[in-house]
Amino acid sequence: MTGIKGSNSVSDPSENLIEIEDLHFAYGSNQVLKGIQLAVPRGKVVGILGVSGSGKSTILKLIGGQRRPDRGLVRVDGRIIHELDNKGLYEMRRNMGMMFQAGGLFSDISVYDNIAFPMRELTDLSEDLIHSLVLMKLHAVGLRGSTSLMPNELSGGMARRVALARAIALDPMLTMYDEPFAGLDPISLNVIAELIRRLNDALGATSIIVTYDVSETLKVVDYAHFIHDGVVVASGTPEELLNSGNPSVHQFIHAEPDGPVAFHYPREPYTSDLRLKGQEQALPG
């Protein structure tokens, strides 16, 4: 595995906001994570790359405490997430922002109320102060004039920007982005990518981008981890991953159809299915 330069030791809580060690997780008999080992340095934008179904979004759920690992640990800001009680987990989540796949906006309330929602739920701020903060967050993503619009009146790119504003509504220490670029046109995609980078640096926060979009992600992240077959097979700077000699990383980065990342779900040989079907038809009635 290619090591990340600088502060990526999985044993340095002063440098790393998140440390994941020997993480195993399964959905029933489907073993998704098979010993994930990675770290997220404070103040950086870190990508978690991999094909669909590789467990990227599951890692975010484990960081947020929505799931509990079968084995291993997830440490955030020096605290092991799955050992926290409900109060401790709630307090930790108040310092986390999340941009969900496809935005996840509340469809029956306005843009303004979507941004104000976490402020009203998690703080005792006055409505006057909430008003100023909502406008500030929307201004940061270029949508200060959209306060009265409903989510169904937004384009795909606008909806993602509103979701981004909501994710940073409380200036979290950690913001997680689950497939933030999926389904966007090239202009909107580039705008979202630049906003993630700029807002992370302006807030002095830490960001995780989970995605299969290579080109945009490697433009904005400081480091990236590539997951294949349930483990991290490569970690490094964008330049290091682009020049990686690992076959699965090379195939993914360069979008090659043939390689260790298989197109077909594991199965018996196709000819076996044909023979079996033929034998069934040959049986006497």
pLDDT in tens, 150-176: 999 999 889 999 999 999 999 999 999
Q: In the chain, where do the E strands start and end?
A: 16-27, 30-41, 45-49, 71-76, 79-80, 96-99, 174-178, 206-211, 223-228, 231-236
59-100 tens-digit pLDDT? 999 999 999 999 999 999 999 999 999 999 999 998 999 998
212 confidence band (pLDDT: 50, 70, 90): confident
Q: Within a 13 Å sphere around the CA of 279, how many CA atoms are in the beta-carbon half? A: 6
Name the pairing type of β-strands 71-76 and 16-27: antiparallel
What CA–CA distance (Å, rounded) separates 285 from 283?
6
CATH of domain 16-95+172-282: 3.40.50.300
Q: What pLDDT score does 114 carry? A: 96
Q: What pLDDT score does 283 carry? A: 54
Name the pairing type of β-strands 30-41 and 16-27: antiparallel
Mean pLDDT on 222-242: 91
User: Tokens 């979290």 appear where?
Assistant: 172
What CA–CA distance (Å, rounded) separates 118 from 128?
15
**pLDDT above 90 covers what percent of the chain?**
60
Per DSSP, the three-state class of 190 is: helix
- Does 281 score more than 80 pLDDT? no
- Does 40 score more than 70 pLDDT? yes
90-134 tens-digit pLDDT? 999 989 999 987 678 999 999 999 999 999 998 999 999 999 999
Mean pLDDT lowest among 9-13, 120-124, 265-269: 9-13
What CA–CA distance (Å, rounded) separates 184 from 173?
27
- Which residues neighbour 268 within 8 Å (Cβ) at sequence distance 6 or greater? none
Q: What pLDDT score does 248 carry? A: 82
- Which residue ranges does the chain devote to CATH 3.40.50.300? 16-95+172-282
Q: What pLDDT score does 5 carry? A: 37
CB-CB contact of 70 with 127 (8 Å): no
Mean pLDDT on 189-199: 90
- Does 54 score more than 70 pLDDT? yes
- Does 2 score more than 50 pLDDT? no
